[in-house]
Amino acid sequence: MEAAYSKLWLDYKPLDITFSGSLAIRCLKGVRRDCAAVSELITALSALLPQAELTFGADSASYIVELDIGGYLGPEDYTLSADERGATILGGSETGLLYGVFAYTRELITEGGFTRISRRVSPALPLRMLDHWDNADGSIERGYSGSSFFFKNGELIISDRTVHYARLLASVGINAAAINNVNVRGDAVRFITPDYYRKLDMLGDLLERWGIKLYLSVDFSAPMSVGGLPSADPLDPRVQSWWKDKAAELFRSVRGLGGFLVKADSEGQPGPYAYGRDHADGANMLARAIQPYGGKVIWRCFVYNCSQNWRDTRTDRACAGYNTFAPLDGRFDDNVILQIKNGPMDFQIREPVHPLFGVMKQTNTAAEFQLAQEYTGQQLHVCCLIPMIKEILAFKTYNGRDKDTVLDMISGAAAVSNTGDSFCWTGSELAGANLYGFGRLCFEPSLPAEDILDEWISLTFGQNEELKEKLLFILLGSRDAYESYTVPLGLGWMCKPNHHYGPDPWGYEFDRWGTYNRADRDAVGVDRGPGGTGYSELYYPPLSDIYGSADTCPDELLLFFCRVPYTHVLKSGKTLIQHIYDSHFEGCEQAEEFARLWRSLEGSLPEQVFKNGCERFREQLRCAAEWRDIVNAFFHRLSGIPDEKGRKLY
Ligand code: GCV
């Protein structure tokens, strides 16, 4: 029977080399023969070199791969050295060794055979996490790749797909997975009850074999919903002892448990505010309950008022996360990690980097990205996020530290997963690059986006230079194209309400979500400078000054920070209105070029992949034209300013 899922970048195919010798794997010291590193190496070598005889330990073999565990390395570090006669992979633990094996395999495939390698690698970020928004009933919030492969009708599913999932994550170095939605609903509330322990234990054990800790999103009010207490007040001793007992039971019953992920006081989820407590009170209470077991609380900073009055121009959602958490810096326990969305709003195609990254100097933090393409084309449009993630990690906060980038400030990164039970896991094959790239960047953030994609293409589709060149062109240009034909200049939110797909310029304008563009006949954008909402002041100088004025604000964020007339001249020399018109036409043309290039790949890609891509490009072009025509018509009708190129604007 054919598998119900693709192996993605782990579909090892025979190497195009002649190797008629014998191969041996030699396990030194503490390396157990049945650990994941050894099993992965066997899987890889027997598929890559099917004609070679593979043995254990034979000194006479013509090529020997030696596996070792070395105490002087960090547990997730590895060293890799290889030449034509053999390779030595040394891990700081079995997990480090596993990462070394995956790196070695990657190298064999991308180099097309045995090669010289010498490298030592330590992951840049200790926490590298995937957050699934899967619900217990099998649906996925903002899921664009089918249903959940973790849950169905309230049951936890463990199958061969789960094993392949763990291998995929481990192969790119992801070491934590929160398997359920941060909006904890339905049966998921009861995941922390004995009903689920047996299956959770099996899953935790399975994941741990591949170096991955299992996290659960929990309901902050579980003492009430699960425990039947009258309150979930974090300072109430009964609540504290309920969580302590619960933690003891959970960590005793579920192997591989890493801790909890919590969305509190956000979009209807319960939290400490209900009891007049703050987020440090809430997070620390949970952290203390799981601290004896080495558990961590990943606490989200996505806290804002989602019942705003659109007439109120002073309240600014962008300020909310900062205002909530910056005053609490230094009050969080060591096993709390604050998870901060990459921007202050909500995963728009362009936002400034969240100002909390710079200011939380005494708190463990992690950056949160969204691979699920909620606002970035829902995996129907190609939108490669790797350059964006790189940009954010490299962003200088100017917070006075010698090392002051986002990457320097954080100890982890998490991404909302774009996976589901579709054949190719991510709905669109090209969206697989985001999953791959996220993991690779968390491990080795200095890798250029182009190298990561080059690697992903070789591993996924094989070594074909023309294919690579075209896919690289599409992927590397895709974010700019998407931004150009949707909402350029940092404006955001012109999508249809609720499902967030397709254009609706005033869809979020007169609503309660704090998501306004304030467009009228003369001007557009939100004044977030010192005379406006003051958001620009949340950055350290010189950023506060740069963002605070239309003269200095970078064009790509202009309408996020400033309200400017349509006749305002951008740094490019164009007027704002002309830029809006042009970018919509240009973005669509880029998308057309991507679709044309994709079509030219017929025969170079597996038929199913090619057809799936064609359908998605057809939809992308349809939708991009809608964006172009509706957004351009919107601004044309409001401003009354014609296109200087005389194109039809409706
Ligand atoms: C899980 C946005 C999404 C919600 C999501 C929320 C969050 O608002 O639209 O679906 O909820 O972000 O990140 O918690």
- The residues annotated with a catalytic role in the active site are 267, 346, 374
Centre of ligand 1 to C-alpha 141, Å, is: 8
Q: Is 68 helix (H, G, I), strand (E, B) or coil?
A: strand
- pLDDT of 2: 57
The radius of gyration of the chain from alpha carbons, rounded to an integer in Å, stands at 25
Region of residue 282 (phi > 0: left; psi between -120 and 50: alpha; otherwise: beta): alpha
Give Cβ neighbours of residue 402 (< 8 Å, ≥ 6 apart).
none
**Per residue in 304-329, is it b (16+ CB within 10 Å) or e — as a string?**
beeebebeeeeebbbbbbbebbbebb
* Token pair recorded at residue 278: 């703050």
Q: How far apart are CA 633 and CA 631, in angstroms?
A: 5
Centre of ligand 1 to C-alpha 182, Å, is: 8
Is the C-beta atom of 584 inside 6 A of ligand 1?
A: no
Centre of ligand 1 to C-alpha 150, Å, is: 20
* Token pair recorded at residue 291: 């601290």
Ligand 1 site-directed mutation target among 140, 267, 378, most atoms within 8 Å of CB:
267
Hey, which residues does 260 pair with through a beta bridge?
A: 216, 297
Q: Is 344 helix (H, G, I), strand (E, B) or coil?
A: coil
Centre of ligand 1 to C-alpha 64, Å, is: 50
CB contact at 8 A, 406 and 355: no
Residues with pLDDT less than 50, the chain: none
- The total of other beta-carbon atoms located within 10 Å of residue 338's CB is 27
* Token pair recorded at residue 612: 């799936």
Q: How far apart are CA 273 and CA 285, in angstroms?
A: 14
Is the C-beta atom of 628 inside 6 A of ligand 1?
A: no
- pLDDT of 57: 86
Out of 3.30.379.10, 3.50.30.60, 3.40.50.1820, 1.10.1750.10, the CATH code matching 8-121 is: 3.30.379.10
Centre of ligand 1 to C-alpha 263, Å, is: 10
Residue nearest to atom 12 of ligand 1 (CA): 346
Instruction: Tell me whether the CATH fold assigned to 8-121 matches the one assigned to 463-526+563-650.
Output: no
* Token pair recorded at residue 130: 């995937």
Ligand 1 site-directed mutation target among 140, 142, 348, 354, most atoms within 8 Å of CB:
142
What top-level class would CATH report for the domain 463-526+563-650? alpha beta
Is the C-beta atom of 264 inside 6 A of ligand 1?
A: no
Is the C-beta atom of 142 inside 6 A of ligand 1?
A: yes
CB contact at 8 A, 478 and 384: yes
Domain extents in the chain: 8-121, 127-461, 463-526+563-650
Q: What pTM value is reported for the model?
A: 0.98
- pLDDT of 122: 98
Residue nearest to atom 8 of ligand 1 (CA): 346
Region 127-461: CATH code? 3.20.20.80
Atom of ligand 1 nearest to the CA of 341: 13
Is the C-beta atom of 141 inside 6 A of ligand 1?
A: yes
- pLDDT of 3: 72
- pLDDT of 167: 98
Give Cβ neighbours of residue 457 (< 8 Å, ≥ 6 apart).
467, 468, 471, 472
In whole angstroms, how far apart are CA 409 and each of 74, 324, 392, 430, 546?
20, 19, 12, 31, 22
Model pLDDT for residues 375-409, shown as the tens digit of each residue: 999 999 999 999 999 999 999 999 999 999 999 99
Is the C-beta atom of 246 inside 6 A of ligand 1?
A: no
Looking only at the bridges linking them, the beta strands covering 86-91 and 78-82 are antiparallel
